[in-house]
Amino acid sequence: MYQVETIFTSQGIQWVLTGEEGHLVELPCKFLKHLSAVNKSGNTGRSYAYALKFFSEFLETKHVFYTDVTMRELFEFLAWLQDPLNGSNVVQLKQDNTSARSARTVNTYMAAVMSFYRFLFNMGITSTDFDKKYLRDAGFSGTAPAYKDFLYHTHKGDNLLRSVFHVKEPRKHLPILSPNEVHAVLAAASNPRDKFLIYLLFVSGLRIGELLSLYTEDIVHDLSLGHKIRLRDRGFLPNGGKLKTGPRDILINQDAMDMMDDYLYWLLDIVETTSGFLFVKISGEAAGAPMDYNDIAALFRRLRRKTGLSVHAHVFRHTHATIYYAQTRDAKLLQERLGHRDIQTTLNTYVHPTDEDILADWKKASSSFSLGVV
């Protein structure tokens, strides 16, 4: 059985894959180390590590080593991800997660595996270039896309690979919280730290890595120009915090400042010394050390149990962006606030007409279609 674990290095958190007796699995760990070296986010490292865990277990049932994989195994793994219990010609794996996965999860896992093999080929560890092999076997002429980096599947021009290892994702509305649900989550927070953390996610739209990167000094009190969060690029921090995009300021309200004051005064009685990070652990031997991704995940597991809501940290980013755009109708401001490199990401994700918008526009246009027909 394979396990996904984290280790702490001088560069920060490193995701690893272990096998029997806790030994590191060499090739996946080389790839995961590369992800950290090119500053991929902690969430990317985690999701890719789990993708390689499932892929490794799949290959073990097929008695195939990583360097002996062919297109057949890749297609069978794709089929198994979509239907682990009933995939044809696929050995069923004995593990807890046997239900069918969402199309988005399947695509993430397949992207991870293809990126893994692109890395192995470029490092000279494998001799099979699956990109070119697919083009040749499928009868395409020309050459495969130019190699820009080991993760170029995330770029815009990768349509050929997506056509073979990408399943169609049904379009659905982003999950957001209603005002009553936000209140319910805040009420379920058991201490001032958790309450402030939840509210700051709601009022700022921060990513988790950005939240974890905050120092107390990064919250700027300014009555004249507005209170703000000042995001600074400090590189990859030991708790996994980092900026996905460049430094920026995010205006916040007085409520957030008041909640921060309550939290910091309360913290003085809880821990003797802190690391300077805004959000720190409050119990155990590590009290005062910065919170990390595991702490955030544990917090939201507790909140889900208490509220019965399907709530996670990122849903507050979606909720914030949806409310902000509904009030401002300014996609450029929203892009800058969220820290999107490309405004198209903002437009595709958050700028959609509501049912009320559609009805209002139809009322404006409907009279033009009236011909007096009875």
CATH 1.10.443.10 in the chain, residues?
179-331
CA–CA distance, 290 with 229 (Å, rounded to integer): 18
- Select, from the ranges 66-70, 142-146, 169-173, the one with the highest average predicted confidence (pLDDT): 66-70
Angle between helices 42-62 and 103-122 (to 10 degrees): 80
CA 326, CA 283: separation in Å to the nearest integer?
40
Please, which pLDDT band fits residue 257 given cuts at 50, 70 and 90? Answer: very high
Place of tokens 């560069």: 11
- The pairing of strands 12-18 and 3-9 is antiparallel
- Convert the pLDDT of each residue in 214-230 to its tens digit: 999 999 999 999 999 99
What end-to-end distance do the CA atoms of the chain give, in Å? 72
Query: Which token pair is 372?
Result: 């007096």
The contacts found for 259-264 with CB under 8 angstroms, 24 or more apart, are 259/192, 259/195, 259/196, 259/199, 259/200, 260/196, 260/200, 260/219, 262/192, 262/196, 263/192, 263/193, 263/195, 263/196, 264/216
Is the pLDDT at 251 greater than 90? The verdict is yes
Which pLDDT belongs to residue 332? 92
H helices of 231-351, in order, are 254-268, 293-307, 313-328, 331-338, 343-350
The rounded percent of the chain whose pLDDT value lies above 90 is 51
Lowest mean pLDDT among 115-119, 201-205, 361-365: 361-365
Cβ count near 50 (within 10 Å) = 19
What percent of the chain stands above pLDDT 70? 83
| Distance of alpha carbon 125 from alpha carbon 62, whole angstroms | 21
Average pLDDT, the chain: 84
101: Cβ contacts below 8 Å, ≥ 6 apart:
81, 82, 84, 109
90/352: higher pLDDT: 352
Confidence check: pLDDT of 155 > 50: no
Q: What is the structure's pLDDT at 319? A: 94
Q: Which residues pair with 16 in a beta bridge?
A: 5
Cβ(114)–Cβ(153) under 8 Å? yes
Q: 34 and 119 in contact (C-beta within 8 Å)? A: yes
DSSP 34-94: HHHHTT--HHHHHHHHHHHHHHHHHHHHHT--GGG--HHHHHHHHHHHH-TTT-TT-PPP-
Longest dimension (CA), the chain: 81
Given a cut of 50, whether residue 88 has pLDDT beyond it is: no
pLDDT band of residue 145 (cuts 50, 70, 90) is very low
From 49, 109, 111, select the one nearest 84 (Cα to Cα): 109
Side chain identity, residue 262: D
Single out the residue of 61, 158, 40, 169 nearest to residue 106, CA to CA: 169
pLDDT at 135: 57
Which residue did the predictor score with more confidence, 322 or 102?
322
Q: Could you tell me the pLDDT band of residue 373, with boundaries at 50, 70 and 90?
A: low
- Taking residues 66-73, what's their average pLDDT? 92
The CATH code of domain 179-331 reads 1.10.443.10
Higher pLDDT, 271 or 374: 271
pLDDT at residue 355, as a whole number: 73
In this prediction, residue 172 has a pLDDT band, given cuts at 50, 70 and 90, of low
Residue 276's identity, in one-letter code, is G
Please tell me the distance from the alpha carbon of residue 103 to that of residue 106, in angstroms, as a whole number: 5
Q: Which residues of 126-153 are buried (b: 16+ CB within 10 A; e: fewer)?
A: beebbbeebbeeeeeeeebbeeeebbbb
**How confident is the model over 266-293, as a mean pLDDT?**
91
Q: In this predicted structure, which of 78-82, 91-95, 254-258, 272-276 has the lowest mean pLDDT?
A: 91-95
Residue 160, pLDDT above cutoff 60: no
Given this model, what pLDDT does residue 133 score?
Answer: 66
User: 74-88, 125-139, 145-159, 267-281: which has the highest mean pLDDT?
Assistant: 267-281
For residues 213 and 145, the model is more confident at: 213
